[in-house]
Each structure stands twice: as C-alpha cells, then as structure tokens.
Amino acid sequence: MLVLGVESSCDETGLALYDTERGLLSHALFSQVAMHEEYGGVVPELASRDHIRRAIPLLEQVLQTSGASLPQIDAIAYTQGPGLAGALLVGASVACGLGLALDRPLLGVHHLEGHLLSPLLASEPPEFPFVALLVSGGHTQLMRVDGVGKYGLLGETVDDAAGEAFDKSAKLLGLGYPGGPAISRLAEFGDPGVYTLPRPMLHSKDLNFSFSGLKTAVLTVVKNQTTNICEQDKANIARAFVEAIVDVLVAKCLTALKQTGLKRLVIAGGVGANRQLREALNAAAQKKRFRVYYPELEFCTDNGAMIAFAGAMRLKENPDAAERNYAFNVRPRWPLNEIGAP
C-alpha cells in the first residue's frame, strides 16, 4: 500500500510517500523559520499562505524523487490536528482535493501520533510496548505505548511545556527564533554552577511536569542584573536552564520506566533533538540497563514522513479506517487520549 502523507500543522510544510512493503520512498520539507524569525515567533496568517505556495511543488518533488505517479497512490493521510487552524486547513484541502480527483480514501492523522511513532522509521526501531516521552511544541507528555492507537497517558505538563519554556527563556536572553536550538547551543559555552535554577515537580509523586516556574526563574535572574548581561553570563544562564530541564525530563522518564516495569524508552518531538538531553538519557540508560530510542534528527521536527507512516500503520491494522469523505474538517485542539485503536 502506497500512502501519501501531508503535514501543515504549524510552520513546516511536509509531504512524503510511504510504502508498507518498501518503507519510506521519499519525503520533502520546507521550513518557514527564516520567514518567522523576523517576528520572533510564528505568524499564523503568514504560515497559512506559505503552506499554499509550497504544498504542490513539494508534492511534485516527492513524486519525482520516488519515481511514483499520482495514480499509484492508494491512500492519503493528512494532519487533521492539533495545530493552527488555517495551516491545518491548507493541508486538509490539498489532501481532500487529491483524494477527490484520484478517487482515493483519506485518513486524518493526529499530529502527535505522528511524532510518537516517528522513531519506528529508524533503522533499529523499538518494539512495543515502550514508554514514550513526547516533547513537541506546547506538549510534554509521558505515554505508555502498547501498539498503534494503544496509548496510555502517564503524565503531562500542567502549564508551560518544555518546548515553550525553551522558546520563552531564549527570548528573555535576547536569542533568535526558534529559541530551543539557540539556547541549547549557547549553553555549551556556559560554566557549570554559576547559577542554580529550580527543578519544578522533580520530587512530586506523579509523572506530571511544570516549566512555567523555571521560565519565571530565568526572568528573575535576568532582571537582577544591574548592568547589561554579557555573552558569558547569558551562556551561564542558558547552561543552568538546560541542565534544569534535562534533570526533570530524565528523572520523570526513569520513574515512568520503574512504574511500568518496561525497559524501552522512546523520545519523540522537537526537544528530542537536544544534544544535552540525549547525552543524559544515554548515560542513564547505560547505568540503569534500559534502551532508549530516538527519531532520526530529520524526523524530530514536523515532517510529512511521520504522517505518511502513522497513516500507513493505521491502515495496515484496519484497511477500512480511511474514508472517501471529501468534506474535510480540521481539529486545532485534539487531545491525544481521544485517539482509539485503528
């Protein structure tokens, strides 16, 4: 089965072709980071307009690279939510238009399910069941994953997610957009122990997260500077911030593994590309004797490959999951726990 995946939930336009027998055939991605950098964050209207410009050229690129043709596509999967309403509508309209023209079934995919399953695209994918740490944009969640569509929520953020804390703290330090990679790079030049920032909910007796207090602590440190902050001081603050977030994420992951009795941990989402987090988790895995899996770096950010793959996995489990209903709709707010088995 050949599945076309369409992703347009925020500021990346991604298309991909996944074959259930041959694997990922081709994927193409356009990032709007350069456009939004001027504004210090994503401008929804600009994002939507840019998706319109990019979708069809990316489709043509994917077809040319894979050697496939439109009539060979068996089904179309697209990101139905969550995300920016206007951006989602662009991807949905492209998918539904193609589905109508080709008389092919459609499947709306949950964006976070795409991230959750993306490590299975790696050369050494994890087996079910596993614990997954999902750290993507406004979401930080720990899930037990027993199979496609079989997700149990173990814990989640009660306020700011890790990604939001990265972006907001980076802005406080005068760094560019996107803030996560910028503050992580700067942290590499910081000296340890100069600043000590809180580890929110580190010792709570649950698996929930809270990062708004950490962002506020960074704000307090910045405001307490009597003079302009020099670059080294920014690096010191960045290091303290990254260390605090990594300590919390690693500790919660270890607790989740202990509570579930599982020995496989999957990291998914944009923060999963963070070098400091990967180093800490790898060290913990070696010490505690569990395995940790990551998506390929190119699949940590939003992409069409994860949507095509998630759609293909659902259709493999249940071929009737896709429908020939071209009256498309999107779900800007869509809790992951509302997704059932295929």
* pLDDT tens track for 313-342: 999 999 999 999 998 889 999 988 788 788
pLDDT (0 to 100) of residue 264: 98
**Which residues pair with residue 139 across a beta bridge?**
136
Structure tokens belonging to residue 7? 């992703």
Cα 43 to Cα 47: distance, rounded to the nearest angstrom: 6
Structure tokens belonging to residue 103? 């008389």
Percent of the chain having pLDDT more than 70? 100
The fold for domain 127-294 equals Nucleotidyltransferase; domain 5 (3.30.420)
Segment 23-74, tens digit of pLDDT? 999 999 999 999 999 888 899 999 999 999 999 999 999 999 999 999 999 9
Sequence-ordered list of residues with C-beta below 8 angstroms from that of 189, at least 6 positions apart, any chain: 232, 235, 239
pLDDT (0 to 100) of residue 226: 64
Domain residue spans of the chain: 2-116+299-338, 127-294
Residue 225 has pLDDT above 90, yes or no: no
Q: Are both 2-116+299-338 and 127-294 of the same fold?
A: yes
**Which residues pair with residue 275 across a beta bridge?**
none
| Alpha-helix residue ranges (DSSP H) falling in 31-135 | 33-37, 44-66, 85-102, 111-117
2-116+299-338, which class in CATH?
Answer: alpha beta
Residue 86 has pLDDT above 70, yes or no: yes
Point out the least confidently predicted range of 38-42, 138-142, 170-174, 312-316: 38-42
Q: Tokens 């994503």 — which residue?
A: 42
Tell me how many degrees the CA angle 132-125-14 measures, rounded to the nearest 5: 80
The candidate with the shortest Cα–Cα distance to 157, out of 137, 179, 174, is: 137
Sequence-ordered list of residues with C-beta below 8 angstroms from that of 73, at least 6 positions apart, any chain: 2, 3, 4, 17, 98, 102, 104
